[in-house]
């Protein structure tokens, strides 16, 4: 028996439809959930070097075309640049780490 998709993959658009925002990257438009995660820091020898708010956007993996990091995208009307992307859990969702563009 082989799986052709993720468990409950068909339910994800309904979840995103409740509180998701528009995520546009090139010709692809999908829904995503934005989360501004507290402060992250890079610590070297007990001295904090970088501190800021992490912007993550969770999208349905099957609705997202994997693109190179540093690609420009628009999230809920705000211009951002993709820093990194990783599939979460069983892979049905992909978390995009973004940065604001001036």
pLDDT in tens, 31-58: 999 998 765 555 555 655 555 667 899 9
Please report which confidence band the pLDDT of residue 83 belongs to, taking 50, 70 and 90 as the band edges.
very high
Number of domains forming the structure of the chain: 1
Cα–Cα distance list, 49 to 81, 84, 99 (Å): 22, 20, 18
Please determine, for residue 27, whether its predicted confidence score (pLDDT) is greater than 70: yes
Residue 54 domain flag: yes
Provide the mean pLDDT of the chain. Answer: 82
User: Is the residue at 3 inside a domain?
Assistant: no
Residue 94 lies in a domain: yes
Over the stretch 84-95, which tens digit does the pLDDT of each residue have? 999 988 888 999
pLDDT of residue 49: 56
Q: Is there a domain that residue 2 lies in?
A: no
4 belongs to a structural domain: no
Domain-located, residue 91:
yes
Confidence check: pLDDT of 2 > 70: no
pLDDT for the residue 97: 92
Answer yes or no: is 23 within a domain.
yes
49, part of any domain: yes
Query: Rounded to an integer, what distance in angstroms lies between the CA atom of residue 54 and that of residue 65?
Result: 22
pLDDT, position 48 = 56
Which segments within 1-102 are labelled E, that is strand? 21-25, 28-44, 47-60, 72-75, 78-88, 93-100
Where in the sequence is the domain holding 94, given as residue range(s)? 9-66+73-100
């Amino acid at each position: 028996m082989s799986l052709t998709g993720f468990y409950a993959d068909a339910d994800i658009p309904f979840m995103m439809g409740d509180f998701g925002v528009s995520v546009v990257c090139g010709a692809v438009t999908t829904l995503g959930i934005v989360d501004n995660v507290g402060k992250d820091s890079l610590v070297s020898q007990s001295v904090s070097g970088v501190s800021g708010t992490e912007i993550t956007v969770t999208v349905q993996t099957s609705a997202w075309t994997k693109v190179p990091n540093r690609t420009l995208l628009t999230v809920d009307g705000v211009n951002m640049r993709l820093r990194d992307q990783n599939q979460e859990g069983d892979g049905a969702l992909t978390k995009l780490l973004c940065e604001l563009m001036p």
